[in-house]
A and B are shown apart, each in its own frame.
Chain A
Amino acid sequence: MSTVVEDWELGALIDGTLPPGRTDEIQRALANAPALRARLEAFEADQAALEGVGDALAVSGPLPPAIDALSARLERSLARPSRWPRLSGPVPQVARYAAVLVVGAALGWGAAASQDQAAVPETALALVDEATEIHQTAALAPGFAREASSATIGLLDSLFARDLEPPDLSEWGFHVARVDVVATDDGPAAVFAYTDADAHLVTLVMSMSAGMIASLRGEADTPRVTTHDGLAVSYGQVPGLAFAIVGTVTEARILAIARRVEVALSA
């Protein structure tokens, strides 16, 4: 393993979150590397100062009444049986994502009213609505998706039997951060969640279901753009795939991004 010790590893060593094997390696390196010891001591000094900050600004005492009441409600809500099935492993994980959206749709999430439905043909509304809901869920709980990596993207490729390389959106400052598979009324869809330096989220939803693709048939001049539930949405299709991209950006920007997505997915 590498003898080069990165700064984040020193931080993780202090935090006690470095894997044991790597911890042992760095501890051995520290015995013979004064410069490395000096770096570690600087980190420890910073950490000690910051721990003092945490203690000095600690919030203690009784909770304000409104927060106290909400906290009690949250605790009761969490005590109820969860919608999440107790599953584990990669494929059940996908099923878990699917389950929450199926239940969500059953509860009416998918029926949320559009603020600008006139701009979206009725046939395309399902894709726009699903993509918006997926974006909102991803924004609320990004941790439910998986960190983007070649392995997770490879899993998508095998699930959908298609090369799903994330389109490059770095021109707009967006980089793919997480990968997801969700259930829609028309079957599973692949999701790439992009974030920029300010943590803005743009969500690309791709469906290969025949129903979803058919819903866009006859649409000219795609990608098209609209505003749905206060979010900019652009949608379009390439052979064998319908896509929608959603974000808290302007319609002009989401349309420009969608055009790039269209080119990338067609390649």
Chain B
Amino acid sequence: MTPDIVAHIQGLRRYARFLCRDVAEADDLVQETLERAIAHAGQFRPGGDLRVWLFAILHNAFVSGRRAYARRRTETSMDLASAVSVSATQESRAELQRVLSAIDRLPDERRRVLLLVAVEGLTTDEVAVALGLPVGTVRSRLARARDSLRQLLGGRGPAGSRSATMRVVGGRDVDGR
């Protein structure tokens, strides 16, 4: 297999974990995505963006089966914050868990756009294609997601000033307030 395909699949698996909150369910979703892609491989346009096409299929597979995925999610809910790599330093892990907890609290439609752009590296145009939305909708959702995230992380302003307002989501403030 080409490295590109493997990289795309690993990106799909990561995004699916965000959607499903369960590693096994996420891999089931990726399998369903690949089965659909194989069935409709003839519709893939030569020169098209394979990654965007796969994300579009994955999104549609998730949406069309989301009742089942949502039901399973309540039974097996994975805490995103607990999934942070053990190789991270304690300090960076705490920061990552804080960011993940904040992402977890975003409305679904904002979280999806934010993750596809900021984590998976898609452009807003590509996200519009993958989610079947107007690009203006993607941009406004992305702006709102970033705004909400900033507020959830303590309303931090420019870089360098955030330590004064840092909060632990779900716990006490680090400065003891």
Contact = CB atoms under 8 A, between A and B. Distances in A.
Interface of A: 6-8, 11-12, 15, 17, 37-38, 41-54, 56-60, 63-64, 66-68, 70-75, 77-78, 80, 82-84, 86, 96, 100, 103, 137-144, 147-148, 175, 177-178, 193, 195, 197-201, 248
A201 B135 CA distance: 16
18 contacts: A8-B139, A42-B159, A45-B159, A52-B96, A52-B99, A53-B100, A58-B85, A63-B6, A64-B27, A66-B31, A67-B13, A67-B31, A70-B38, A82-B45, A83-B42, A84-B43, A141-B40, A178-B132
A70 B31 contact: yes
A42 B156 contact: yes
B105 interface: no
A135 to B, nearest CB: 12
Contacts of B140: 8
A152 B64 CA distance: 28
B118 A54 contact: yes
B142 interface: yes
A136 to B, nearest CB: 10
Nearest to A66: B31
B36 to A, nearest CB: 7
Contact of A147 (B13, B134, B139): B134
B119 interface: yes
A8 B53 contact: no
Contacts of A73: 34, 38
A138 B30 CA distance: 20
Given A59-B14, A74-B38, A6 B143 contact: yes
Contacts of B134: 147-148, 175, 177
A67 B34 contact: yes
Interface residues of B, number: 82
Contacts of B164: none
Contacts of B13: 59, 67
B17 A57 contact: yes
Interface of B: 1-2, 5-6, 9-11, 13-14, 17-18, 27, 30-31, 34-38, 40-46, 48, 50, 52-53, 56-57, 59-60, 63-64, 80, 83-85, 88, 92-93, 95-96, 99-100, 103, 109, 114, 117-121, 123-125, 128-135, 137, 139-140, 142-143, 146-147, 149-150, 153, 156-160, 162
Contact of A201 (B84, B121, B132, B142): B132
B64 A74 contact: no
Contacts of B42: 80, 82-83, 100, 103
A147 B125 CA distance: 10
A142 B132 contact: yes
A137 B38 contact: no
A57 B83 CA distance: 7
B10 A60 contact: yes
Contacts of A48: 159
Contact of B158 (A15, A45, A77, A193): A45
